[in-house]
Structure 1
Amino acid sequence: MKKGEFTPKFFTLLKAGITKKQLYKDVLAGIIVGIVALPLSIAFAIASGVSPEKGLITAIIAGIVISVFGGSRVQIGGPTGAFIVILYAIVQEHGVNGLTIATFMAGFIIMGMGFAKLGNFLKFIPYPLIVGFTSGIALIIFSSQIKDLFGMPIESLPADFVDKWVVYGSHFTQINWVAFAIAIATIVISLFFIRVTTKIPGSIVAIVLSTIVVYYFDLPVETIESKFGEIPNSISMPAFPHIDFATIKALIQPAIAIALLGSIESLLSAVVADGMIGGRHRSNMELVAQGAANVFSGLFGGIPATGAIARTATNIKNGGRTPISGIVHAIVLLLIMLLMAPVAKLIPLSCLAGILIVVAWHMGEWHHFFALFKSNKMDIIVLLTTFFLTVFFDLILAIEIGMILSSLIFMKRMSEATSIKSTSNILDSNDDFGDKLFEEELAEIPKDVLLYEINGPLFFGASQKFQEVISDLNQRPKILILRMRNVPFIDATGINRLKEICKQLQSRGTTVIISGANHEVKLELLKANIYTMLNKNNIHDKISSAIQRAKNILEAESKNKS
């Protein structure tokens, strides 16, 4: 076991000490994230088929547990859009009580995954699969908001994607144009208010304006109050749900679905956060905390929670660097729930629909989705299979089939990458630096240059290890040469990790040079715009020219300084 693997980051940071300056930044970031989380928590709860206060309870209870006991220093926990698909279906089939029990069960499953150290394996999920099901979820979220977007008087919606649109088609003559105008205004403000100021979230401005206009002019649109009644301004005492074998049997599949999706999203969020702050999360401790958060959320009648990528990014951008910001965000939501519930009930549902449509747009990351069409055909197959299975069938089925496909494709590509040479061919062949030994080559490398050689395919299973090795560089060289002569192929996950590493190194002033990539790998690098990112002059066929390029860069820098 790694030292401190199951120690919460918060405890480690408290032991090391947190400066007053950082404490101030964390409190400020927590206040901002709490305000951002308010409409999202309510909107996610309503879209999941439950009352709005359940979203707030989840953000408060789970948010504190995840921040205090999590393995990431900046993770913000709470309800997220990714769960909407699963939760709505559970509520339709098993009711709100069934969802509470499934959340409780899922918490123990996630904790078990953490203690079994499965967090180390969840990192290896292929990038096309992640983009496929994330984009599929985004499309389903958009689809679920059409009713409130147009203010249609529909009592209940089916969970199935196609059935929803059949129902919409039969109600398109009953559009509430006032509700539609509010939703469109919300979308525009949420997307473009950042041009006015980055301090106040556009979604909050949209909520305040739409609520005031609807209340003052008594506009004929549905609000939280007209749909759900009063929002409770208190949190009920925890209660253990009644669970017997029949209940477990009925809810085990939904609970596993919640556990898998929650685990994947929380670790994805933690990885994204690591890239933004240059840190390293403890994946297994993060899973244990996420599991505990879901157990407590279930006890208090909340819904599933996980790491929220958008709120975590907001936290980082506003200076949050310790779990204190996550704790403050939960306290802010608690104060709002206690003091502002009578006002929150006046929020128009069409405004919340507009906010969720913006969430779906950002969640889909469609530029990544379409960028993958430039990659290998096998990656495209995994992407589209996962996407369509998520939209038209089931998310867990999509992940299962996506993983099976990725594994089969990997085995096929590995078999193609294996070659057999005769002894004479091996003896007669020279590498791209002549017949010098590797140790002799190192002698020619300048002082401020590091050379790393990658041996083997850079695919989804190896990409995490590659990122960790490069991120663990004890020194920050002026130039890093990545020698890829022994990389038979690179897949979309490897490309994505390589781009992340290059961006991170370039932001710290390190020039990256690639040497020896074969024709197929260079083709993938070209399609992924890495030639443009690194400058095509920094991609070489031979190690000798790569080292010479490094010397030229150092000489040019030396002349500029003198």
Structure 2
Amino acid sequence: MTTDSKENWFSFRPKLADALKGYTRQDLTADLIAGVTVGIVALPLAMAFAIASGVKPEAGIFTAVIAGFLISALGGSRVAIGGPTGAFIVILYGIYAKYGAENLAICTIMAGIILFVMGAARLGTMIKFIPYPVTMGFTSGIAVLIFTTQIKDFFGLSVDKVPSEFFEKMKVLAEHGGTFQWPTVVLAAASLAIILFWPKSWQRRVPGSIVALVLGTVAVVLLPNLLPVETIGSKFGGIPQTLPSPHLPALSWENIQHLFQPATTIALLAAIESLLCCVVADGMIDDRHDSNQELMAQGLANIASPLFGGIAATGAIARTATNIKCGARSPIAGIVHAVTLLIIILAAAPLAKFIPLATLSAVLVNVALNMGEWHNFGRVPKWPRSDAAVFLTAFSLTVIVDLTIAVEIGMVLAAVLFIKRVSETTQITAVDEGSETEGAHHSLVGKEIPRGVMIYRIFGSFFFGAADKLETALKRNGQEPDVLILRMRKVLAIDATGLNALEDLHERLHARGKHIVLSGPHTQPLFMMDKAGFLDRLGKANVCANIELALARAREILGLPPEPSRDPLAEERQRIETARQELTGALERVSNVLTAPTTNGNRPPPATGAKPN
């Protein structure tokens, strides 16, 4: 390892450091406007996400302030906005219901550590290898679950506690369906209508969710008799007017050992959402983010957020898009967004107690509608069956069973299908002079294949999904040769299972006095076979650079004399040489005609039978 690589194995350089170079007053003005706007947009979302996750509304605001500040200040994107998002609602609600608030905080800190390690280990680019059907499957499933969590508040149902399990939840909601409150339904429906039909041209200046929040709150304050609905004040007692002091949750190994699985799920969701958010931002501003730096910032944000009473955070795509559309130019806009929310807490927290839960429910219903990749259900019949199966499995497991299980099984299914597809591209076929397609040294054309020699060509990666094809191909032939030549020019990679298949075949043939010769193996397979000691057992003389040398080695093993040297291209070369000589002669004759001396300034008369031009 070089000195430079030792020094650069860990890199921590926030995008803010580069963005501040050449930073102007105009940039600051643009960032201030964008940051304040996004801060106002984030207010109802932060409270709604927190309530839906089972915690108090202020937890969402604390998350947006602390995590939002750290993600912008330390992240790898110029304009990405961080905070609580809908992707976490399902998993956080389940952890809170099962383990309580203290363990939810511990789980979030564990997820933050995992995220930081992923970024430090430069695994940011690995997230892109998670298949599209998996991410879209659980994203659509999360959207359905978010919608189901809002049925109670949207319709004002009298339910003390809503279960986290899907079928149990739907059963309880159905049993209490007759307890709906008309004032709550009217307010929620009106709020949703404002959000959905608010003119897009006005969204940049005044978002529809803020208009719905303000109008809903004013209506509840002015018309308490007509709208006797549940509010933040009636359910949670209001919002504190200050940030809490940092508090480290009590650690217990008995609880921690059960939190590794959900913590890993939170980390994966945060990584996927944040990097997807950065990709969207890059496309909108023509920039390039640092995925590893972003993951480290996400990790630090999720470690710090629970210490101040917050929940898990990640990149928020909708708020990032709003930030860009409002003219953001640097991470300063994200920092201003966090400061704006802090000012709102300090100055207007007492007013938050009048915010109706029905309006916040309408905000989350809109989030669910926009979050679900509903168009993919129409595309399922057009997808390959394997991709459709992965998508529907991830979706169904997210909704019916558990998000953690859905992500795990979805990833396993995708990996299995990938292996299947790779193995399907691997071909093992018998080769003779009639089926040859290679060039001179690697071609069988014009070469004699001795009796007792059989040649097979392996094409593609020789992984464990394809290793059994070699055995199948040999059994199909019905006889074992004295010398088996395996042509490996088209094998770019081999794994332990593929190597084991070669070793088993060698041992079986060797026990019967038969031999294997390898022709033209690539660097990776050759290195792996050498490192495993297979080349020593096989005999390095049985590893040849091309088929010509492999056939010569086979003749040597069989005790046959060397094949008489002959050039399979001699006839072709002779034809080319004849054509060259004829062309040279024709050019000389043309040259003689053009350079012949003229008489009286005229060219010599044309040849007999030729017509003058």
Q: Which residue of 1 aligns with 2:187?
A: 182
TM-score of the aligned structures, taking structure 2 as reference length: 0.68
Q: Which residue of 2 aligns with 1:410?
A: 418
Q: Which residue of 2 aligns with 1:49?
A: 54
Work out the CA distance in 2 between the residues paired with 1:123 and 1:6.
21
The residue correspondences of 1:136-215 to structure 2 (distance < 5 A) are: 136-195=141-200, 197-198=202-203, 199-215=205-221
- Of 284-293 and 317-326, deviating more is 317-326
Q: Which residue of 1 aligns with 2:19?
A: 13
Work out the CA distance in 2 between the residues paired with 1:195 and 1:104.
38
Give yes or no for contact 2:166–2:400 (8 Å, CA) kept in 1: yes
The residue correspondences of 1:59-138 to structure 2 (distance < 5 A) are: 59-138=64-143
**Unpaired stretches in structure 2, ≥5 consecutive residues:** 440-459, 462-613
- Of 22-31 and 212-221, deviating more is 22-31
Q: Which residue of 2 aligns with 1:341?
A: 349
Work out the CA distance in 1 between the residues paired with 2:23 and 2:374.
39
Work out the CA distance in 2 between the residues paired with 1:128 and 1:22.
40
Give yes or no for contact 1:131–1:369 (8 Å, CA) kept in 2: no
Per the alignment, in what secondary structure is the counterpart of residue 80 of structure 2?
coil
Q: Which residue of 2 aligns with 1:240?
A: 248
What is the CA-CA distance between 1:61 and the residue it aligns to?
A: 0.3
TM-score of the aligned structures, taking structure 1 as reference length: 0.73
Q: Which residue of 1 aligns with 2:339?
A: 331
Root-mean-square deviation (CA, aligned residues, Å) is 2.1
Q: 1:130 to 1:426 in 2, by over 3 A?
A: farther
Per the alignment, in what secondary structure is the counterpart of residue 358 of structure 2?
helix
Work out the CA distance in 2 between the residues paired with 1:5 and 1:271.
21
Amino acid aligned to 1:258: I
Give yes or no for contact 2:43–2:61 (8 Å, CA) kept in 1: yes
Give yes or no for contact 2:110–2:263 (8 Å, CA) kept in 1: yes
Amino acid aligned to 1:44: F
Q: Which residue of 2 aligns with 1:251?
A: 259
The residue correspondences of 1:529-544 to structure 2 (distance < 5 A) are: none
Work out the CA distance in 1 between the residues paired with 2:377 and 2:326.
28
Q: 1:91 to 1:336 in 2, by over 3 A?
A: same
Per the alignment, in what secondary structure is the counterpart of residue 333 of structure 1?
helix
Q: Which residue of 2 aligns with 1:489?
A: none
Per the alignment, in what secondary structure is the counterpart of residue 123 of structure 1?
helix
Work out the CA distance in 2 between the residues paired with 1:283 and 1:19.
26
Work out the CA distance in 2 between the residues paired with 1:425 and 1:367.
47
Give yes or no for contact 1:31–1:332 (8 Å, CA) kept in 2: yes
- Of 354-363 and 186-195, deviating more is 186-195
Which protein has the larger Cα radius of gyration, Structure 1 or Structure 2? 2
Give yes or no for contact 1:139–1:360 (8 Å, CA) kept in 2: yes
The residue correspondences of 1:301-340 to structure 2 (distance < 5 A) are: 301-340=309-348
Q: Which residue of 1 aligns with 2:400?
A: 392
Higher RCO (CA < 8 A, seq sep 6+) = 1
Work out the CA distance in 2 between the residues paired with 1:259 and 1:4.
20
**Deviation digits for residues 415-445 of structure 1 (CA, Å, limit 9, x no counterpart):** 333446756556499xxxxxxxxxxxxxxxx
Work out the CA distance in 2 between the residues paired with 1:46 and 1:114.
30
Q: Which residue of 2 aligns with 1:271?
A: 279
What is the CA-CA distance between 1:57 and the residue it aligns to?
A: 0.3
Per the alignment, in what secondary structure is the counterpart of residue 233 of structure 1?
coil
Give yes or no for contact 2:102–2:250 (8 Å, CA) kept in 1: no
**Deviation digits for residues 127-176 of structure 1 (CA, Å, limit 9, x no counterpart):** 11110000000000000000001001111110001111101111111110
What is the CA-CA distance between 1:107 and the residue it aligns to?
A: 1.4
Please point out which of 222, 229, 232 is paired with 2:237.
Answer: 229
Give yes or no for contact 2:138–2:406 (8 Å, CA) kept in 1: yes
- Of 234-243 and 408-417, deviating more is 408-417
Amino acid aligned to 2:232: I
